[in-house]
Amino acid sequence: MDARLQALRGRADAFPGVTGPALRAGLTDLADAALAELVGEPGPGTALLAVGGYGRREPAFGSDLDLVLLHDGRRRDISALADAIWYPLWDAGVGLDHSVRTVDEAVSVADSDLKAAMGLLDARLVRGDASLAEKLVERVRSRWRARAPRRLPELAASVAERARRNGEVAFLLEPDLKDSRGGMRDVHALHALAAAWVAEEPPERVREAYRVLLDVRGEVRRLGQGRGQDRLLLQDGETIAAALGYPDSVALSRAVAEAGRAISWTWDTTWYRVASAQRSKIGVRLRRPVRRPLDEGVVEQDGEIQLARDADPASDPGLVLRAAAAAARTGIPFGRYAIDRLGQEAPEMPAPWPEAARDDLVSLLATGDAAIGVLESLDQVGLLVRLIPEWAAVRSRPQRNPYHRYTVDRHLIEAAARAATHTRDVDRPDLLLLGALLHDIGKGYPGDHTDAGIVVVRELAPRLGLPPEDTEVLLAMIRHHLLLTEAATRRDIDDPVTIESVATAAGSVRVLTLLHRLTEADAQATGPTAWNAWKARLVSDLVHRATAVLDGREPPCPPALSERQAALLALPADLTVQVNPLPDDAMFEIVVVTADDRVGLLATTAGVLALSRLDVRRASARSSGGRSLLQAAVAAPHGERPDQRRLQEDLRGALTGDFDVTARLAGREQDYAATRRRNTPGPPQVIFDDSGSVTVVEVRAPDRAGVLHRIARALAEVGLDVRTAIVATLGLDVVDAFYIEDPAATAGQPSGPEPAAGTGSITRTGQSASMLSIERRAEVSSAILAALTANEASVAS
């Protein structure tokens, strides 16, 4: 008995090598046998029922046993019998959802509780009076059918709420297999519609998709040691793929995505028909269907997009996109007959596409969010790949970077939907929408995705009917779709070299403007952390300055030393700390002024800020008259204003050596790493960039609370001055760029005007730092890598 109960709880060595249906059957038999032994022979008038997943014979490791002890009200020792069942399960640590009911009580609860009703629809007798169990199931199902007009909208609302909370199985990189849209609970909802006699049982395609999710969930639970979570994590993909016989984690993710798509699409189409039928049941009347023309060959009938009577999909390749654009424009869903007929009869689009077909595609994309469901309908019957064969390479393809929220294909569609909000901000909205739809198309092919995307779009654009000049613009958008984000978040946008390089890469104001809006749409479609007011302002300022260069004007850069900075440097105190709000959400400026021009001020300040859980996004150092000024833009947790007095006290102690910042950061880094790392981090990289007016040291490393402090300290220890630091976070990594000066290299140079620190200011004063020698680079790189490697070893221990 104990061994059986331990296995039910999720013991790691239970059922080794057994997966899928065999595992579920084994767990079901195990639970049934254990419960039968506990219940014994209860006699007439008493029955133990399994409900929910256990009732469906679909338990997983760590699943709660959902049980109803049913009785006819005559047995006086029913409480003692219940205790004899529940307590051994509790003592063994088995999760339990239990109740003791008469038939009337159970029916009453089901009438008021949707979850209880859904569970009882799948009730199964484990032990006891079969006739009593049958009586309950029949009454519950009868009540479910009779009360369908009220209960089914409640069911649909619960499906929608789960989708809102948990996203979609088909497009999330780490979906909840049970509760996300297209997950297992949506199949239960489809069965509930069938139990109400308003829809057929789910088709074989959905049943097979459900089996895929059940199999994967079983292994998720095994790895989770029965902890009861149903989310497929990136870190578990390879292990689960091997257990279930998939070639790799990519194949596993695609199978899960395909399953989620089949389930969610079937729910949408089924519920739409059920809801329409429910609305029409106000009296019984016979009438001829009203068909409202929407476009050539496309009509609305009974609240659905249908084909006109004389429509011929086989000889009209543009009909698919006309119907799709009409569906998105009106918000009316495709009728199942229409979409199935298009899927069966529509031919491939001729090459090049007719101009009207391309216009319909653009019109479809321009509807924004409304286009997402329509494109999914096209995809479900194979029409999207028929229109754009290259789409097959990205369809349901996972992205192996947790920075991304969606699969590649959904990311592209989301980006196009976000770009639709900017069609009035550009002179070629059609190219903006097509560029958003295709900017990552290369991720379905080997090699660098940008290079692969250029090859794909160079062939695809003419086939879409785009003239050569438009094709070149589209290719420029693909080639440079990461340009603005990388330049704005990894380089100093005050540096004329940065501005010139962006203007040169774009080549024209048209391309630059399109890239601006594509950048925003791409980031918004990536994930919640990929775009914010801070990044939006950086990109906008950079575009504004690069546009001036392309127009032949002087870029509007700030002066080498502003009046405010000069005033701050003139403050008489030996140490001044200020906290000032920035116009960006949850962002603040930290100002530090010291009475001496000290090397390592950035390292010390960065450590103090990390101790206060402030994330530095950008920092710059300036000096004048022997005094130092450091300005840092930081993101504060929950938008709370940093404590200025505490920062000043901590910084004074760090500067005077009263406490060791690095030592105090050790515990903070342990906690931070625990919340950030899921996969083994790759080794840090140090890259030197001499393309600008000064050397830029770019460091890519695992994201840690004190990583900026450690890098800046390493640079100070080898005698380099950091004048500007730009910090960017990409998923679980950081990319920090340091604009540095080497005093040793410039010591023998003729003196000139005193430099105001900051990359742009060095160029403007006419004094440039010498590029680092090969030996100096090796020294700098070794110091940084040693600091980061030692930190990783400390965090790991």
Is 501 found in the same domain as 400? yes
What is the rounded average pLDDT of the residues 344-349?
94
Is 130 found in the same domain as 156? no
Summarised one tens digit per residue, pLDDT across range 55-73 is 999 999 888 899 999 999 9
Q: Is the pLDDT of residue 84 over 80?
A: yes
What is the rounded average pLDDT of the residues 730-758?
62
What is 65-78 written as a DSSP string? EEEEEEE-S--TTH
| pLDDT for residue 95 | 84
Is 659 found in the same domain as 586? yes
Is 266 found in the same domain as 301? no
Q: Is the pLDDT of residue 216 over 80?
A: yes
| pLDDT for residue 402 | 63
Query: Has residue 311 been placed in a domain?
Result: yes
Going by C-alpha positions, the residue among 322, 292, 327, 298 that lies closest to residue 310 is 298
Q: Strands, E, within 13-128: which ranges? A: 46-50, 65-71, 96-101, 124-128
Report whether 471 contacts 458 (CB < 8 A): yes
Is 631 found in the same domain as 644? yes
445-474 in b/e burial notation, b at 16+ Cβ within 10 A? beeebbebbbebbeebbbebbbeeebbebb
| pLDDT for residue 281 | 59
Can you give the CATH number for the domain in which 275 is found? 1.20.120.330
Instruction: Give the DSSP H/E element, type plus range, for residue 590.
Output: strand 587-594
| pLDDT for residue 760 | 29
Burial class (CB in 10 A: 0-12, 13-18, 19+), 645: exposed
Share of the chain above pLDDT 90, in %: 62
| pLDDT for residue 283 | 44
Last residue of a domain, one of 78, 111, 146: 146
Average pLDDT over the chain reads: 88
Name the domain count of the chain. Answer: 5
Last residue of a domain, one of 327, 356, 387: 387
The residues that bridge with 699 in the sheet, in sequence order, are 686, 736
Last residue of a domain, one of 280, 303, 318: 280
> What is the pLDDT confidence band of residue 647, given thresholds at 50, 70 and 90?
very high
What 8-state DSSP symbol labels residue 236?
Answer: G
Who's near 733: CB < 8 A, 6+ residues apart? 681, 682, 700, 701, 702, 703
Q: Is the pLDDT of residue 669 over 70?
A: no
Q: What is the pTM of this model?
A: 0.79
Q: For residue 71, give its domain range.
A: 2-146
Who's near 140: CB < 8 A, 6+ residues apart? 106, 107, 110, 117, 120, 121, 123
Going by C-alpha positions, the residue among 53, 57, 79 that lies closest to residue 66 is 53
Is 159 found in the same domain as 82? no
Is 760 found in the same domain as 613? yes
DSSP-derived 3-state class of residue 703:
coil
Going by C-alpha positions, the residue among 219, 212, 205 that lies closest to residue 254 is 212
Between 751 and 655, the more confident residue is: 655
The Cα 248–Cα 56 span in angstroms is 30
What is the rounded average pLDDT of the residues 448-476?
97
The most distant pair of C-alpha atoms in the chain lies apart, rounded to whole Å, by 105
> What is the pLDDT confidence band of residue 247, given thresholds at 50, 70 and 90?
very high
Lowest pLDDT segment from 424-428, 571-575, 623-627, 780-784 = 623-627
| pLDDT for residue 285 | 47
Is 400 found in the same domain as 359? no
Is 396 found in the same domain as 338? no
> What is the pLDDT confidence band of residue 630, given thresholds at 50, 70 and 90?
very high
> What is the pLDDT confidence band of residue 11, given thresholds at 50, 70 and 90?
low
Is 393 found in the same domain as 361? no
What 8-state DSSP symbol labels residue 347?
Answer: P
The Cα 540–Cα 534 span in angstroms is 10
Query: Has residue 765 been placed in a domain?
Result: yes
Is 547 found in the same domain as 440? yes
Report whether 702 contacts 681 (CB < 8 A): yes
541 is written with which tokens?
A: 């300022």
Angle, in degrees to the nearest 10, between helices 237-244 and 249-280: 90
| pLDDT for residue 179 | 95
Report whether 215 contacts 19 (CB < 8 A): yes
| pLDDT for residue 502 | 96
Report whether 606 contacts 615 (CB < 8 A): no
Q: Is the pLDDT of residue 520 over 90?
A: yes
| pLDDT for residue 783 | 93
Summarised one tens digit per residue, pLDDT across range 18-56 is 999 999 999 999 999 999 999 989 889 999 999 999 999
The residues that bridge with 735 in the sheet, in sequence order, are 700, 728
Query: Has residue 285 been placed in a domain?
Result: no
Between 277 and 643, the more confident residue is: 643
Between 520 and 225, the more confident residue is: 520
> What is the pLDDT confidence band of residue 751, given thresholds at 50, 70 and 90?
very low
Summarised one tens digit per residue, pLDDT across range 579-618 is 999 887 778 999 999 988 767 888 899 999 989 889 888 8
Is 393 found in the same domain as 495? yes
What is the rounded average pLDDT of the residues 675-701?
77
Cα-atom radius of gyration of the chain, to the nearest Å? 32
Query: Has residue 715 been placed in a domain?
Result: yes
> What is the pLDDT confidence band of residue 766, given thresholds at 50, 70 and 90?
very low
Can you give the CATH number for the domain in which 409 is found? 1.10.3210
